[in-house]
Amino acid sequence: MKLYIVIPAYNEAEFIGKTLLSLVAQTWLPDRIVVVNDQSTDSTEKIILDFAEKHDFISLVNTTSEGEHSPGGKVIRTFNQGYKILDEDYDIICKFDADLVFPENYLESIIKIFEADPSTGMAGGCCSILKNGNWVLENLTDKDHIRGALKAYRKECFLEIGKLQPSMGWDTADELLAQFHGWKIKTDPELRVKHLKPTGASYNSASKYKQGEAFYRLRYGFFITLIASAKLAYLKKNFSLFNDYLSGYFKAKKEKQPFLVSEEEGRFIRNLRWQKMRRKIF
C-alpha cells in the first residue's frame, strides 16, 4: 500500500521537528510527506526544509490562508493546499497534526489494519498527553473515535465522503459519513501517540461557540446536542462550556448556517447516535 501524509503547520517550531523525526524513523516509511506551512512567523519553515533536504519523500508547501487560527475550517483549508499537489497514486491518505510523536511501528500497524479488512475506511491510534509526569490517554472522546490529529483514510472512503469539509466538526462528520456509506472505523488503543500540545491550546475566545454550531450543522437536533454538550463539558472539566455549546447551537440555528450533511445523512446520524447511547445505558 502507498501511504501519503499531509501535515498542516502554523508556528510549530517547538514541535514539528519531533513529529518529522518520529515519522522518518518508522518501520514502514511513508511514500510522501507534505508539510503545509501556513504563514508561520517562527522557524517552522526552516525546520521543514532541513528535513526535506535529507529525505526526498518530504516536501514543503507555503500557503497563506485567511482568518484567525480556529478549529476546523482553517486547518482543513491548509490541509487541502497540501493534498492538491499530490498525485492520485495512493492507497492511504493521512491528515496528521504537527505536534505529535509517533511510535516507530505506527504506520506499519495502520497499514495492517487496512490490509486485514477491505471494508475498513478509516483507522487510527489514540492520543496521549503528559499529565503529572506520565503519558495518559487524552479522554475528550470515546475510544472508538479517531482524533482529528491523526486521521488515516482508505482512498475510496476518502473520496466517497467528499474528502474533508473545512468546518468545525469535520473530524466527526467524516466518520459519520463513512459509516453512512458502509465503511468501518477502526481504532487501536495500543497505538499510543504523544500529543505534545493540548487540544485547543491556541484557539481564540470566539471558538468556544464553534462546537455547538458544529452540532447544529451535523443535524444532531436539540436533545442529542444537549447530551453531547454536557458530556464534553464534563470531560473538559469546564461546565461553563455547556452554556457556550448550547449558545453556539442556537446561534447557528438562528443564522440558518448551512448543514454539513443532507437530510438523509442527518437521519442516519441521529439514529446512530441514539443507538450508541442506548448501548451504553443498557
CA distances from 227 to 214, 215, 245, 274 (A): 14, 11, 11, 11
Q: State the pLDDT confidence band at 278, using cuts at 50, 70 and 90.
A: confident
Per residue in 150-164, pLDDT (tens digit) is 999 999 999 999 999
Instruction: Say if residue 205's pLDDT is above 70.
Output: no
The pLDDT of residue 138: 82
Domains delineated in the chain: 3-195 (3.90.550.10), 207-281 (no CATH)
DSSP-derived secondary structure letter, 36: E
- Grouping H, G, I as helix, E, B as strand and the rest as coil, residue 194 is strand
Q: In terms of pTM, does the model score above 0.95?
A: no
Q: Helices marked H in the chain — which ranges?
A: 16-24, 44-54, 73-83, 106-116, 155-160, 170-180, 210-217, 222-235, 240-255, 263-281
Range from 203-207, 242-246, 275-279 carrying the lowest mean pLDDT = 203-207
Cell of 49: 526544509
249 burial (CB, 10 Å; 0-12 / 13-18 / 19+) is buried
3-state SS class at 158: helix
